[in-house]
Chain A
Amino acid sequence: MTAIHTPTERVWWKQPLDRAELLWILIALAWCMVLFFMMPYWHLYGKQNLANEAYRTGPEQFSKLTDEMVSKYKVREEGGDLKVPVVHPPAGGDAYLIARLWSWYPILELEAGKSYRIHLMSMDYQHGFSLQPENINIQVLPGYDHVITVTPTHAGTYGIVCNEYCGIGHSTMTSKLYVVK
């Protein structure tokens, strides 16, 4: 009988498998294994993986580290009256980026081909770090210092867009990131 009736065969679990179904199950299962193993494979051979390095910390501590970096490595200010510092941290070193309602602080200037440990954290609500047009998107939480080791490949001016809804000013939360040669 049909799917809205009780099965005709009382022992339906002994009914032989149809060939079309069996073939498809095997093919689909093989594909599912490929889907699964691509993830560990990319950890071994791919270059884009999150290290999942993160520390619990508080806003005071994180601001302190950020301010230290800003005072040491500030190269100029931008944004008119806002005077947002542009910071050129040493290649291979740590760089801090604060997300807060509704701005990013400071502006980082990185060198192409060098790697950096970028620390991302929010001071208040949840935010989203979206680097455009690279299209790297990372969740930014309050209380978690998320360390991302990144190597910019091409020089240029990139945009940072907040892509986690964070209240009425959400779409005003944009910034820049410079990559120089």
Chain B
Amino acid sequence: MAVNRMFRTCPTTGLVFHQPAERLIIVNAVTAVVFLLIGGLLALGVVLTRWPAVHWLAADRFYQVLTAHGINMLIFWIIFFEIAGLYFCSAVLLKSRLATPRMAWAGYGLMLIGALVNNYAVLRGDSSVMMTSYVPMSAHWSFYLGLILFAVGALVACFVFFGTLVVAKSERTYVGSVPLVTFGAITAAIIAVFTIASGAIILIPTFLWSLGLISHIDPLMYRTIWWAFGHSSQQINVAAHISVWYAIAAIVFGAKPLSERVSRMAFLLYIFFLQLASAHHLLVDPGLSSNWKIFNTSYAMYLAVLASMVHGLTVPGAIEVAQREKGYNHGLFQWLRKAPWGNPVFSGMFISLIGFGFLGGISGVMMGTEQLNLIIHNTLYVPGHFHATVVIGTTLAFMALTYFLIPVLFRREVMFPGMAKWQPYVFGFGMYGVALFLMAAGTLGVPRRDWDITFAGNTFPYEFPGAAFLMLGLAGISGLIAIVGGGMYLLNTVGSVFLGKRVVTPGFAYVRAADGVAPAPKPVSAAITGHGSAVGAWGLVAPGTFSFAMVFLASFVLYYFINWKYLATVWPLK
């Protein structure tokens, strides 16, 4: 069969789109947004029930809605978007054709069917087992089958991505090394393969068990392997949204990484030190030794944390350097004050970066410390933490990128630019509230996934302090704000993509490229250029970012030791 070699070039950005790749990116991204819509509607049910003063849904409905919220958001929204991202980072950034578009469509089909089957299972009402589906609580077999189909589809997509890298290399569509953002995507895809393998190892037997073909699954073994899948997939999200941050720094500011070497090494650390990422979910489980827990929970000495701290410096650092080169060179922070705060692509990315670091990163390390886990395990602190990572970090970064993709990929104008300007702030700060107040409630001991913490009608109820109810109320209000912010995003994206004004370019055409894509890239001289000219305060190229990093470190140290102090007051245990 003839290979489709039709390409178009974006007149404003110069990006090159292979026609089938373009369609696949569009379809995966649109599907992702549909699942975000579903997950967002379900969030309303979750928030309005966990807000004790409202306590909207009945218990069975609440657990059903919470199960569906977790899965539709964390798995379907995020992964469909990531697949779109993988195709973008391979075919578009490498100016290559997508390898085997048919396989890519097959992968998409499997993912879609899987997502629908899983939602069907939850909708039936007999599969309200939460996304973790801890055995021996069991769901309808179609629950597991849906997830398996989805995972196989995602695996196919990863291989299409790898195939595209091979095609690009062999058709010589680029010279030298792949761009940093593509490198980040490669990191994500490699971790994805490991993740999906773990998922298969645990979900396939569980599926057979739900059909009665296997009699017993050990709960500890289940948790260990399930989380090797569940947590590694968060490492995919981190690699993905950090790539998006780098991409946005490049798109909005033309920023160049401080150094390729450092950023790439930091991505590699994610792969090398993934370890048994499940460990930090098992810190208070019976049957595992402390040595095992300590080694694995710290990813062999926190080198993956190191990597995130490095990206946290290099992304804003690159922006600072680019801004200073444009002349915003006054004092420590003029570069930041003069940043385009009204451009949602930038503001979304920056709110994502700060929230991910300060709220998600610090809390994650705290929780993942062997002993400290005792004081927060399974409390609302946990959802508080991951709404900072996967919502403020990943989701908001993807939203920010969308505003860039609407004109470039969909060739439409953003329908409500005024709304777009405010959306990252409403969603982002609403989510900052959700994360903070859930963490506060968790610190006061409030359990996660609990329908009624007043324990009305229980024989031996426990009464939480008034402050816990206050925190839940504030989390409820912040949650509604975030949902409004999510609604603004959905309205604007769906509106723009389907009804927005077309961006018309004179002479627009898809052009056939013989082999790879013309024009052949020019090899560039190997001269090494540093940032020598723009050195600022303290002899650093990015003194503003560096001082931010110091503030971050100080907060980190302080918060970390406050928690040890708290732990020291708890009953002695051994």
Assess whether A174 is in contact with B545, with CB atoms less than 8 Å apart.
no
Q: How far is the CA of A115 from the CA of B449 in the complex (A)?
A: 32
Q: How far is the CA of A145 from the CA of B287 in the complex (A)?
A: 9
Q: How far apart are A98's CB and chain B's nearest CB, in angstroms?
A: 15
Q: How far is the CA of A126 from the CA of B301 in the complex (A)?
A: 30
Count class of interface residues, chain B: 35 or more
Residues of B contacting A48 in the complex (Cβ-Cβ under 8 angstroms)? 371, 374, 567-568, 570-573
Assess whether A15 is in contact with B259, with CB atoms less than 8 Å apart.
yes
B487 within 8 A of A: no
Q: How far is the CA of A176 from the CA of B459 in the complex (A)?
A: 10
Interface string of B562-574 (1 = CB under 8 A from A): 0010011011111
Task: Specify the main secondary structure of chain B where it touches its partner.
Answer: loop
Assess whether A165 is in contact with B449, with CB atoms less than 8 Å apart.
yes
Interface string of B514-554 (1 = CB under 8 A from A): 00000001011011111100000001111101100100010
Assess whether A7 is in contact with B180, with CB atoms less than 8 Å apart.
yes
Q: How far apart are B350's CB and chain A's nearest CB, in angstroms?
A: 16
Given contacts A19-B540, A24-B313, A149-B574, contact A46 B546 (CB under 8 A): no
Task: Specify the main secondary structure of chain A where it touches its partner.
Answer: mixed
Residues of A contacting B443 in the complex (Cβ-Cβ under 8 angstroms)? 135
Given contacts A136-B570, A174-B455, contact A4 B301 (CB under 8 A): no
With beta carbons under 8 angstroms apart, the residue of B251, B282, B305, B451 that contacts A32 is B305
- A contact residues, total (Cβ < 8 Å): 95
CB contact list, A13-34 vs B, under 8 A: 13-21, 23-25, 27-29, 31-33
Assess whether A150 is in contact with B571, with CB atoms less than 8 Å apart.
yes
Q: How far is the CA of A13 from the CA of B475 in the complex (A)?
A: 46
Assess whether A142 is in contact with B261, with CB atoms less than 8 Å apart.
no
Q: Of all chain B residues, which has the CB nearest A149? A: B574
With beta carbons under 8 angstroms apart, the residue of B249, B378, B463 that contacts A128 is B378
With beta carbons under 8 angstroms apart, the residue of B258, B287, B309 that contacts A54 is B287
Interface string of B410-448 (1 = CB under 8 A from A): 000000000000000000000000000000000111011
Assess whether A6 is in contact with B174, with CB atoms less than 8 Å apart.
yes
Q: Of all chain A residues, which has the CB nearest B289? A: A52
Q: How far is the CA of A58 from the CA of B173 in the complex (A)?
A: 62
A66 within 8 A of B: no
CB contact list, A125-150 vs B, under 8 A: 125-126, 128, 130, 132-139, 141-146, 148-150
Q: How far apart are B51's CB and chain A's nearest CB, in angstroms?
A: 15
Assess whether B459 is in contact with A80, with CB atoms less than 8 Å apart.
yes
Assess whether B459 is in contact with A171, with CB atoms less than 8 Å apart.
no
Would you list 12 pairs from A and B whose C-beta atoms are within 8 A, ordered by A residue? A7-B260, A10-B526, A13-B260, A15-B261, A18-B262, A21-B259, A28-B309, A32-B302, A52-B289, A126-B219, A132-B445, A166-B137
Q: A4-B180, A143-B218, A171-B452 are in contact. List 8 more A-B contacts (CB 8 A).
A: A2-B250, A10-B524, A17-B262, A47-B573, A133-B445, A164-B134, A171-B453, A176-B462
